Structure 1
Amino acid sequence: MTSDAFSSGDIAALPRAEFAFPGPLRDQLVAAVLDGAKTSTTGLVADYEHENEPLPSVGSRSAVVDSDDRRVAVIEVTEVRVVPLAQVDFAHVVDEGEGDTSIAGWRANHEGFWHGEEMRAALGDPEFTVDDETLVVLERFRLVARLDPAG
């Protein structure tokens, strides 16, 4: 982690990095970011398209938010790849910091999330499903700074 200093205005201007939905899973993922175990994440191209958001770009920074909507860290994107789900590699799986020990286990966990009611609602598609050809965004990042959520 670098010693970059941020003013409250700088932090407020950063886009938000939201891992999962508020609740236990987000809390687990944010803790993994803060302790350095999580240095990659996977998103659905369909989600970016639905939200009309550009894909992440190398060098961009964002503020990680916790389940209480507090900005708790700043991360910087170091790599972005778009691949079919079937091409996710084991190094990416491990770097997600979620404890998965196989690509199959990782995929089952992610498909459970993507096929969940919250994700289907967020995509506006109650029948949404993924398969080997579903395009995913593999993002690597580095922790730039931990923030005091109390302000």
Structure 2
Amino acid sequence: MTIELLDTYWRRVRAEVPNLPAAVPEAWAFGATPEHADSLLGLVLSGIKTGTASSVWDYEAAGDRMPEAGDLSVILDSAGEPQAVIRTTTVDIVPFGEVTAEHAHAEGEGDLSLAAWREIHERFWRNHSESPRGWEPDMPVLCERFELVHPLPAATDANA
């Protein structure tokens, strides 16, 4: 992804949603693989995925700022193309074992159950964690809820 591509995308989004700030938000893709990025993006665009979870240890290892309520993000596909804008609505940090069934359902993965969420995320952090700590049963998990800002949900083509 180039800065020019992101700037062009942001100008187009702001023309459709004029109350957005001039500054281009952080751009990133879900997951650790191209397939995962596209699959999770599809869940966001369809309205199924309204939450995500991150390892606090990964943020610390990378030296990245953790998201806060009100933050905007541009979501990229596997090719690095901007496809959506989300706004973080809530952020909670809880131990892995205290992530709720409601949050697991909001993530939209697997069969939407807490058991599936635990299996999927344990495997993800064991295989893809940026922190040398990887996964632990009591690790701190950043549970983020978000809303789709663009494309506007009413404008999303359900046949795409």
Structure 2 CA distance for aligned equivalents of residues 89 and 17 of structure 1:
25
Residue segments in structure 2 that go unaligned for 5+ positions in a row: 1-15, 153-160
What one-letter code is carried by the residue in structure 1 that aligns with 2:135?
V
The structure richer in helix per residue is: 2
8 A Cα contact 1:22 1:66, kept in partner: no
Which structure 1 residue ranges, 4+ long, deviate > 3 Å from structure 2?
A: none
Matches for 1:125-136 after TM superposition, within 5 Å: 125=132, 128-136=133-141
- Count of matched residue pairs: 137
Alignment deviations for residues 31-77 of structure 1 (CA, whole Å, 9 cap, x no partner): 00111100000000011111111211111101001100011101000
Q: Hey, what's the Cα distance between the residues in 2 that align with 1:6 and 1:68? A: 28
Cα separation, 2, equivalents of 1:129 and 1:49:
12
Quick check: 2:84–2:148 contact (8 Å CA) kept in 1?
yes
Q: Is the 8 A contact 2:75 2:86 kept in 1?
A: yes
TM-score, structure 2 normalization: 0.77
Alignment partner of 1:4 is 2:9:
no
Residue 93 of structure 1 contacts residue 100 of structure 1 at CA under 8 Å; is this kept in 2? no
Higher relative CO (Cα under 8 Å, sequence separation at least 6) belongs to 1
Range with greater deviation from structure 2 (136-145 or 19-28): 19-28
Tell me, yes or no, if structure 1 residue 65 matches structure 2 residue 70: no
Q: Secondary structure at the match of 1:115?
A: helix
Contact 2:70 2:89 in 1 (8 A): yes
In the TM superposition, residue 133 of structure 1 has moved relative to its aligned partner by 1.2
Report the equivalent of 2:52. Answer: 41
96, 104, 108: which one aligns with 1:93: 104
Q: CA deviation at 1:26?
A: 1.2
| Alignment-derived partner of residue 40 in structure 2 | 29
For 1:96 and 1:6, the matched residues in 2 are separated by: 27
CA contact (8 A) 1:22 1:68 kept: no
Alignment equivalent of 1:108, drawn from 93, 109, 119: 119
CA distance in structure 2 between the aligned counterparts of 1:112 and 1:55, rounded to whole angstroms:
22
The answer on whether the counterparts of 1:33 and 1:143 sit within 8 Å (CA) in structure 2 is yes
